[in-house]
Structure 1
Amino acid sequence: MGGPRFEPVRAVRAYERVVEQVEEAIESGSLCPGERLPSERELMVQFSVGRSTVREALRVLQARGLVRSRPGDPNGAEVLPFSPVALHKSMTTLARVAELSLAELVQFRMVLDSSAVLLAARLRTEEQLAEMSAAVADMRAALDGGSEQGFDAFGGADVAFHDAVARASGNKLIQICTDVVRSIVLDLISGKIAAAPDREGLMRQSIGHHEEVIAAVRAGDGPLAARLSRKSMYDYYAGYVPVAERTALRALLE
């Protein structure tokens, strides 16, 4: 028999309907950050549900970072301003469960970072440029220290550099995605980086690349800064990616 194949329907719990309506009110602007929901008792009346249903809905809304509900507070739950925490969590889960390869993750980092630095070259302030320079100076100082603590400090300064670039891009989604993808990539290869025999050489090369990127950003040459960023990322990470998968990374260099 032709036609579409339908799936069995799932019974929707009452608290999910409550959550949906509150989410819709927040998304539409009917409820704004800082405003409060009605009290538990009033919600029970408006939704025609019991107290346990209302409390379960509030727990879900709070877990999603949409409201803050305090036990015993006679006022209703407070609507919170947007936070990237929930998006950060969702993207991290997606990257893990979707079995993304290291090559795909590094390729996405190359796209994100080069886009961020392209925007930063056009939009950055003098203060943001100074932040980038300070981060690279910290990378050099940490490497010259030579200890294991110094290598950790190098990593922290490198993160500070990329965070400064992402902020200078002026795009919050680039900032969030950059942070998520970087943390996943480093989780996958941090052990290999620590054990690399040429770790110090790679770090010195990385500092040189960062200084070239800053020079291009200072000159306002976005396309050059983006190319340098992709090359820097490739040089640092390609050695950890299987040889057969490096073609996908090189495609971004051409």
Structure 2
Amino acid sequence: MDGPRFEPVRAVRAYERVVEQVEEAIEGGTLSPGQRLPSERELMVQFSVSRSTVREALRVLQARGLVRSRPGDPNGAEVLPFSPAALHKSMTTLARVEELSLAELVQFRMVLDSSAILLAARLRTDAQLADMESAVAGMRAAVEAGHDAFGEADVAFHDVVARSSGNKLIQICMDVVRSIVLKLIAEKIADAPDREALMRQSIRHHEEVLAAMRAGDGPLAARLSRKAMYDYYAGYVPAAERSSLRALLD
């Protein structure tokens, strides 16, 4: 039979509808940070749902960092201000739940890091540049100590770059994507027979990026960063998906 094909519908629980409406009110500005939601009893009346449904909705909203509900408080839950920690948690959940491919995550990291480096090369302070140099020195010293120490020094470098960009959203996104990518390939890195060679290669890449940043050449530093990440991660990405990473190379 010809005609439209429909997809199965998903049953939506009542508490999800409550969560959606409260989220929309917060996003739309109807509810502002510091304001209180109605009491549980009033929410039950307004939504025509049971107390257990209201409490489940409040639990979800609190887990997402949108409200704070204190046990025994006769008042309604308090709407919380924007929190980088809440955004970090939401992004981490999104990246995992949506089952993004490693190629997509690496590609996003290439975009994020190179953009942060472009900004940092132009906006960084002398103190921040010194912190980057110290982090690279830490990477050199950690080659003999092992991959964990090396990884900490590497993270320190990228954290300074993110802060130097002056953009909090870039900082949060970089932290989330980096941690997820590294978790996905942690075992492969640990089992690599040429770990020391990979670490020394990474140091050379960081030194090149740092030299360009020191010279204030943001575009060069950004290009070097994308190439360095491609060299480091491409081998872990299925060959058929590497073209998405090469598209970012100049």
TM-score by length of 1: 0.82
Query: How far apart are the structure 2 equivalents of 1:43 and 1:28?
Result: 19
**Is residue 2:94 matched to residue 1:90?**
yes
Moved more, 60-69 or 240-249: 240-249
Q: Which amino acid aligns with 1:237?
A: Y
Which residue identity does 2:171 align to in structure 1? Q
Identity percentage of aligned residues: 80
Aligned to 1:147: 145
Q: 1:168 to 1:92 in 2, by over 3 A?
A: farther
Q: Determine helix, strand or coil for the equivalent of 2:23.
A: helix
Alignment of 1:233-252 (within 5 A): 233-242=229-238, 245-252=241-248
Distance 1:163 1:9, change over 3 A: same
User: Is 1:200 aligned to 2:204, yes or no?
Assistant: no
Letter in 1 for 2:90: A
- Residue of structure 2 equivalent to 1:64: 64
**Superposed displacement of residue 134, structure 1:** 2.3
Counterpart CA distance in 2 for 1:127 and 1:196 is: 36
In structure 2, runs of 5+ residues without a counterpart are none
Q: Which residue of 2 aligns with 1:74?
A: 74
- Correspondence for 2:208: 212
Q: Quick one: structure 1 residues 103 and 59, their matched pair in 2 at CA, closer, same or farther if it must change by over 3 Å? A: closer
CA shift for structure 1 position 72: 1.7
Task: Please give the alpha-carbon distance, in whole angstroms, between the structure 2 residues aligned to 1:208 and 1:113.
Answer: 17
The Cα offsets for residues 144-192 of structure 1, whole Å up to 9 and x where unpaired, read as: xx133xx211101111211222232233343333223322322232222
Backbone CA RMSD of aligned residues: 2.6
Matched, 1:161 2:157: yes
Instruction: Specify the SS of the correspondent of 1:252.
Output: coil
1:7-26 to structure 2, matched below 5 A, reads 12-26=12-26
Shift of 1:27: 0.7
The Cα offsets for residues 105-140 of structure 1, whole Å up to 9 and x where unpaired, read as 333322221122112222323343233222212212
**Inter-partner Cα distance in structure 2 for 1:77 and 1:210:** 47
Letter matched to residue 25 of structure 1: A
- SS of aligned partner of 1:34: coil
Letter in 2 for 1:196: A
Question: Quick one: which amino acid aligns to residue 212 of structure 1?
Answer: E
1:221 corresponds to:
217
Provide the rounded CA distance (Å) in 2 between the counterparts of 1:26 and 1:223: 39
**How many aligned positions are there?**
246
Contact 1:65–1:86 (Cα < 8 Å) also in 2: no
Q: Which moved more, 1:234-243 or 1:57-66?
A: 234-243
Greater CA drift, 38-47 or 108-117:
38-47
C-alpha distance in structure 2 between counterparts of 1:26 and 1:52, whole Å: 22
- Secondary structure of 2:129's counterpart equals helix
Once the two structures are TM-superposed, the CA of residue 24 in structure 1 deviates from its matched residue by 1.7
2:31 alignment counterpart = 31
* 1:248 Cα offset (Å): 4.2
In structure 2, what is the Cα distance between the partners aligned to 1:241 and 1:88? 20
- 1:231/1:253 contact within 8 Å kept: yes
Asked if structure 2 preserves the Cα contact closer than 8 Å seen for 1:128 and 1:164, the reply is yes
Corresponding residue of 1:138: 138
How far apart, CA to CA, are the structure 1 residues paired with 2:112 and 2:204? 20
Q: 1:195 to 1:50 in 2, by over 3 A?
A: closer
| Matched residue, 1:50 | 50
- In the superposition, relative to structure 1, how do residues 67 and 221 fare at CA in structure 2: closer, same or farther (>3 Å)? same
